[in-house]
Structures are given as structure tokens and as C-alpha cells.
Chain A
């Protein structure tokens, strides 16, 4: 095969062979010249060590919090959907707000794993595994709301309510409805995210299997590793598959939040009926997702001592994405006002003036301060290097993005066309506890992930270290001996 490649060079001399592109110095993705073995020991150590006490404390608190959701949903099922604070004119309340919030959180995971993979951003490798786990758990939390809002949930599980099988009257679902598109978009998104995550895990499960000391671990990790043995004939197909999945997930993630925004944009309600919604929702989703990635990863970095793997360079990259997407969201807020004024539609103009100065002005200004103002601090290097401040701002981002969905959903519905049907929406205690509980559910799942699954993609991190480059040893005369194990 070398014959074939040199042959083609003789026939058609590649122009690139004569041009030496400038060698832009790359930021190291792993600090302190860590060796391959150090990476394996560090990541596997997390799941091989004795379960730490803090883990049990967090796990018990998370389980207790998650029980709020299950009690709330159980109460809803036995009583009826009326236990949520939905009433005319606001028939979409916290349920859809929470749904969009959680789905949005998930988007950063897919962005990191798919879009940054296509863009060859090597810094993705140390955060993609945890971010993808976050995606899956966020989709689980999101999915609860649309499933339970139907009240008689067994219809959601029974094929006939959400899926295209004849219902009791023999009528098929209406495919002109954006809500049905949403069912397909979110379930495809959940499925492909799980598959992508699992495919990335196979080589790492093999590493854990090969290191396993007990028979049970060997068998358990052996089954999920699918007999992976690191053969290069396998890597060849595997890398192609990974690239294809990244290529498939990229249009998928963009379409999911586009379709979620169609739930609103396709209606005629003032403040919802705008063409800016798809890009605005996607930018907001990435913004909130990166907020959540930072909220999760910074404490883990401190607890597990992962400073060499999640370096200041990683934090810089993530905060810059938050800055960029937060500013895009701010632009969208401004553009909505401009179009409302420029469109000269009285209802549209009223909807936006009412957002900023009406009955829900408090929510609007919380949203503006958290989403538009707080990320602007990331212009400053000193703030990006202050881990505590970065973490606090990431919390503001999470709060702000929840309020964005609240503002969009509730302000428009509570003040629509006819003043006689205006109202004011407040959540009930069931709403509040069901929502708070989803953070517990998310934490339970994430804590289990920390205990049983390698937190970072070891094979991928090793592949982006300088010593993984086969030409490295020639140019630097440095063998693997230069890399530190401890």
C-alpha cells in the first residue's frame, strides 16, 4: 500500500508537499508531560478506589431529593394534572419550562462530543465523556415532563399515544404537529446520545476489564467491553464509525432544539411566532449546557485532582464559548424587540413591552442579568483564571436559562390577545417539588456514573498527548522515558 501512495505522488505531485504550513504552537491538552500509564492509573483509580465517604453522603442526599420528583409525579398520576398550577390562559407552565431547560442542558454534551470532534478541537477529549453522560441524564429528566403531562401516563407507554399506532378511535397521530416532531426528535436524540456514549466507552471498558482484580469485575466489564482488544484492524473501523456518529449527531443536535423551538414558533401566540427561534434556542441550549458542564466539572477536578487533565486551557475554551453564546442570546433578545417594533404589529409590540415592564418583569430582568450580563465577565483573563468565580458565574447561567424558558412560555400566555382572558400564573407546591427533585434524579445518575464508568475518555486523551504522535520521537529525540508516571 505504501507503493500505491508513493506512486500517486509521482503521478500528481501534491502541492502541499512543497508548502510548509506555519506550525502554530498548540496548547497542551495534558499538563506536566504525563505518561500514558499515569492517565490510565488516574482515571481507572477513580472507579477502582474504595467508595469515598463524600460519595455516600452526596448519594443519600441526591436520592432523598429525587424522591420529591417521584412523590410529585405519583401524586399527579393518582389525582390528575390539575395538581400542577396550569389554568386558563396559561396552559403551559413549569412542565414545558423544565423540559426545555433540561433538553438544553444536554446540548453541550453533544456539541462537545460531535461538533468539536468534527472541528478537531483536541481539548474536547478530557470533558466529552462526562458531558455526554450529562446529556443522557438531562434527557432522562426532560423526558419525565412530557410523559407525565398527559396525566394517564400508561397511554404514553402504551403505543398509541405518542407513537404512530392507531389509538382507541383508530386515528393516527397528526404529523403536521410540531409536538409530534418533538417526540421523534427527542427520542432519536436520546437514543443516538446513548449509542455515541457507549461506543466511546468500549475501549475504556476494555482497559478497566484488563486491570480488574476480581472475577466479578472482569466478567461485568468484559461483557460491556464486547471483547475489545485494541486491534488496529478494529480501530480503523471504529474511528470511521466515531467520525460518522459525530457527523450524524451534529445535524441531530441542531435539529432537536430547532424542533423544540417549533413547538412555540409554529403557534400564533405573540412573542412565540418568530423566525429567530431556532438559532436562538440552539445558541441558548449550548450556552446553558456549557454552564452545566462547568458546574459539574470544576468540583470534580478539585475532588479527584484532575488539574493536569482539565487544565486552565480547557476552562478558557469553555468560558469563551459561554461568552460567545451568551452574547448571541443577548443579541437575540435585542433582535426580538427590534423585529416587534419594525413589524408594527400591536400585539407583538405589546408582548415584548409587557415582557420587560409588565407583570413578569422581575423574571425578565433576572434572565437578562444572568444570561447577558454575567457571561461578559469572561472577557477578563483574571476572572477566567479564578476557578471559584467561574463556577459561580456558571450557576448564574443555569439560573438565567431556566428563567429564559419561563419568560418565553409564561409572559406570552398570560397576556395574549384578549384582556378579558388575561391571568397570572403561579406554580403549585407540586410543581416546585417535582422540578427540584429532577436535580436529585440527575445527581443520582451522575454519581452512579462516577463510580462505575471511566470519567474521561482515556484512549482519546492518550491519543492527543505529544508522545502519541509517531513522528514525535524523531523530532524531539525524546522517548517515552521522559514522561512522568507520578
Chain B
């Protein structure tokens, strides 16, 4: 059964999927996931996920944006072509601030979004979950959990009976 991607279980309510996820986490599975039409509060804890890394991208983007703004204004107005207007200083962080502030926000937003896409490995238009005929329910009103056959603990028979022990509504195989 090497051509099987994993085993998929369907649940009716957020509470059911949450308890199921806690049990899968405690059983020590590594390669598994939960598919829900909306984010369920507390599911990150139930799956044992760590805090997202997106903010690290944000801080890098924001710092880059601020430095870009300040140095761009210094370069253009005080270095490359000195513009003296009304006897005001050629460069001052005060008048450079509004533009640098906007660039901080702009770069942070781009960095965070790029970060989210990188961490989620998106866009990925091919995935086993998208191939099942239940895909319309996945983004509508049902809750799914799957364990991949690549998981080190995976065993065709044992894992299937383990999943059935979680009291899902329905269990099915996922093709690769």
C-alpha cells in the first residue's frame, strides 16, 4: 500500500476534532494534520504546534524598511544632490520620519506575507487532501484529520483502528 497518502477521518463538530487531535498528538504521531473550514480556537495547543514564526519575518522587514527610508532620504537630499531649503538642515530624522514610518509598515507587510507563504509552503496546488471527493466539505462545514503513511509510527492496520477509536463519522483512504 505504498501508493496510499494516508488515512482520513471526518468529524462533525469542532469539539470532536479537537479531542481527536489531542489523542493523535499524545500518541506521538509526527506527520499528520487537521483540516478545518475556519481556524478553531485552541487547536494549535491540541495539535502541539509551536508559536508561529511569521513575526520574525515582520521584524526583519520592518527594520529593513525603516533603514531604507532614512538612508534613501539622507542619500537623496543630503548627499547626492544637496537641497538647501529655507535654511533647514540637509538631513534630520524628524522630516525623514513620516516617509520612513510608511516604508517600515510597507516592508513589514510584504515580509510577513512572504513569510506566511514560505512557512506554509504555498502556493501548492497539488495536495492529496485536494484530491478527495470530500474537498467541498473540507472548506464548508466538516472537520477532517489525517495521518500520513510516511509517519514513522504508521502501520496500515494499527493506525486505522487507532483512528476508528477516535469516533469519527467516516474513515477513508487518501490516494497519493
With A36-B141, A259-B98, A471-B15: A460-B127 Cβ-Cβ less than 8 Å: no
With A175-B77, A188-B102, A248-B105: A227-B44 Cβ-Cβ less than 8 Å: no
19 further A-B pairs in the complex, CB-CB below 8 A; given A229-B138, A232-B39, A462-B141: A2-B22, A173-B76, A175-B77, A195-B110, A203-B139, A211-B136, A211-B140, A236-B39, A236-B52, A237-B53, A238-B120, A248-B108, A255-B98, A255-B102, A470-B13, A470-B41, A472-B14, A473-B16, A479-B13
Choose one: B54, B120, B139; the contact of A206 (CB below 8 Å). Answer: B139
Choose one: A196, A207, A467; the contact of B140 (CB below 8 Å). Answer: A207
- A369 to chain B minimum Cβ distance, whole angstroms, is 35
- A259 to chain B minimum Cβ distance, whole angstroms, is 6
With A230-B36, A235-B43, A244-B55: A175-B106 Cβ-Cβ less than 8 Å: no
- Give the docked Cα–Cα distance between A35 and B54 (Å): 32
Provide the residues of chain B in CB contact with A211, threshold 8 Å.
Answer: 136, 139-140
Most A C-beta atoms less than 10 A away, residue of B53, B95, B109, B130: B109
Contact B33 A233 (CB under 8 A): yes
Provide the residues of chain B in CB contact with A220, threshold 8 Å.
Answer: none
- Give the docked Cα–Cα distance between A222 and B123 (Å): 10
- A136 to chain B minimum Cβ distance, whole angstroms, is 14
Q: Which residues of B line the A interface, CB within 8 A?
A: 12-16, 18, 21-22, 25-26, 33-45, 47-55, 58, 72-73, 76-77, 80-81, 83, 85, 88, 95-96, 98-99, 101-103, 105-106, 108-110, 112-113, 115-117, 119-120, 122-127, 129-130, 135-136, 138-141
Provide the residues of chain B in CB contact with A252, threshold 8 Å.
Answer: 102, 105
Contact A40 B95 (CB under 8 A): no
A-B CB contacts (within 8 Å), total count: 226
Interface residues of A in 444-486 (CB under 8 A from B): 458-460, 462-463, 467-474, 479-480
Contact A184 B98 (CB under 8 A): yes
Most A C-beta atoms less than 10 A away, residue of B14, B21, B129: B14
Contact A467 B12 (CB under 8 A): no
Q: Is A171 an interface residue (CB 8 A)?
A: yes
Contact B106 A479 (CB under 8 A): no
Provide the residues of chain B in CB contact with A222, threshold 8 Å.
Answer: 125
Provide the residues of chain A in CB contact with B38, threshold 8 Å.
Answer: 203, 459-460, 462-463, 468
Choose one: B21, B40, B116; the contact of A238 (CB below 8 Å). Answer: B116
Contact B83 A174 (CB under 8 A): yes
- Give the docked Cα–Cα distance between A261 and B140 (Å): 45
Contact B116 A171 (CB under 8 A): no
With A210-B139, A470-B41: A195-B15 Cβ-Cβ less than 8 Å: no
Contact A462 B116 (CB under 8 A): no
Interface residues of A in 12-61 (CB under 8 A from B): 35-37, 40
Provide the residues of chain B in CB contact with A5, threshold 8 Å.
Answer: 45
Provide the residues of chain B in CB contact with A255, threshold 8 Å.
Answer: 98, 101-102, 105
Q: Which residue of B lies closest to A171 (CB)?
A: B81
Q: Is the interface of B mostly helix, strand, loop or mixed?
A: helix
- Give the docked Cα–Cα distance between A206 and B37 (Å): 10
Q: Which residues of A line the B interface, CB within 8 A?
A: 1-2, 5, 35-37, 40, 164, 166, 170-176, 178, 180-181, 184-185, 188, 191-192, 195-196, 199, 203, 206-207, 210-211, 222-223, 226-241, 244-245, 248, 251-252, 255, 259, 262, 458-460, 462-463, 467-474, 479-480
With A463-B39, A467-B13: A245-B112 Cβ-Cβ less than 8 Å: yes
Contact A241 B122 (CB under 8 A): no
- Give the docked Cα–Cα distance between A234 and B105 (Å): 24
Choose one: A232, A244, A474; the contact of B33 (CB below 8 Å). Answer: A232
- B5 to chain A minimum Cβ distance, whole angstroms, is 13
Contact B122 A234 (CB under 8 A): yes
- Give the docked Cα–Cα distance between A187 and B77 (Å): 21
Choose one: B34, B50, B99, B138; the contact of A181 (CB below 8 Å). Answer: B99
Choose one: B52, B85, B119, B136; the contact of A174 (CB below 8 Å). Answer: B85
- Give the docked Cα–Cα distance between A207 and B45 (Å): 25
Contact A232 B103 (CB under 8 A): no
Selected A-B contacts with CB under 8 Å, 19 pairs: A1-B49, A2-B26, A2-B45, A174-B77, A175-B73, A191-B106, A203-B139, A210-B140, A230-B37, A230-B138, A232-B35, A232-B36, A232-B43, A233-B49, A255-B98, A458-B37, A459-B37, A470-B43, A472-B15
